């Protein structure tokens, strides 16, 4: 699941990230020694001065890395390919847990809706591992942004819910194995 673990690097330029778990914006200056602790989906989690910082993939070059690009299964038609929708959902990771939101059991529902004029909207219902997580709005925004990158998706709507609350029973078997829970 993880592409990189615990790689020490020096930042190539100033980059902005979000402190985990508060979601507070933090600037990491050029020339800073950081440790990449996770490189998952299209974001990186770094340790900078004892703080975990989530760096978006668009700033991967500041870490000397390349941003991920997706290959979609577009068949030339005008419909949304649901495999592409699930592919991008699986590319969203909790910044503290090296498991994507689908395998974490955070996605409670996903539906492609056909709107007027041939437009399509993807509706996702999801939760968080903890209701007070400051990264919640960040994860919701990342899901919406990535869904809009799927061919023929014109709108994306993410509904955050805490009913039912998340617990470990919602983890997929792959996530449990990865986390050493089975």
What residue ranges do the domains of the chain occupy?
7-63, 82-178
Closest CA to 47 of 7, 91, 99, 16: 7
Superfamily for the 7-63 domain: SH3 Domains (2.30.30.40)
Q: Yes or no: say if 129 and 78 are a contact pair by the CB < 8 Å rule.
A: no
Tokens of 35: 């440790």
Q: Is-contact 49 120, C-beta < 8 A?
A: no
Residues whose CB falls within 8 Å of the CB of residue 40, separated by 6 or more in sequence, listed in order: 1, 2, 3, 93, 98, 100
Task: Give residue 97's pLDDT.
Answer: 85
Predicted confidence (pLDDT) per residue in 27-56, tens digit: 999 999 999 998 887 788 999 999 999 998
| Mean pLDDT (whole number) for 155-172 | 95
- 């419909």: which residue's tokens? 79
Percent of the residues in the chain that have a pLDDT greater than 90, as a whole number: 66
Mean pLDDT score, 56-68: 87
- The third-level CATH classification (topology) of the domain covering 82-178 is GMP Synthetase; Chain A, domain 3 (3.30.300)
Alpha-carbon gap, residue 138 to 132, rounded angstroms: 13
- Local structure of 14: helix, strand or coil: coil
Q: What is the pTM of this model?
A: 0.80
Distance of CA 133 to the CA centre of its chain: 14
């Amino acid at each position: 699941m993880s592409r990189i673990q615990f790689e020490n690097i020096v930042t190539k330029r100033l980059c902005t990230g979000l402190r985990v778990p508060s979601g507070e914006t933090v600037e990491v200056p050029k020339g800073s020694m950081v440790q990449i602790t996770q490189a998952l989906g299209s974001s990186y989690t770094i340790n900078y001065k004892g703080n975990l910082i989530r760096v978006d993939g668009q700033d991967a070059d500041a870490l000397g890395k390349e941003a991920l690009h997706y290959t979609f299964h577009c068949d030339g038609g005008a419909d949304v390919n649901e495999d592409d929708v699930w592919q991008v959902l699986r590319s969203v990771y909790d910044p503290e847990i090296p498991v994507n939101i689908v395998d974490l059991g955070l996605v409670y529902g996903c539906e492609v809706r056909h709107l007027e004029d041939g437009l399509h909207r993807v509706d996702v219902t999801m939760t968080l591992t903890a209701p007070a997580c400051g990264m919640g709005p960040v994860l919701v925004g990342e899901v919406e942004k990535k869904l809009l990158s799927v061919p023929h998706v014109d709108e994306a709507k993410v509904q955050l819910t805490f009913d039912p609350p998340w617990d470990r029973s919602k983890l997929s078997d792959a996530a449990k194995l990865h986390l050493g829970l089975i």
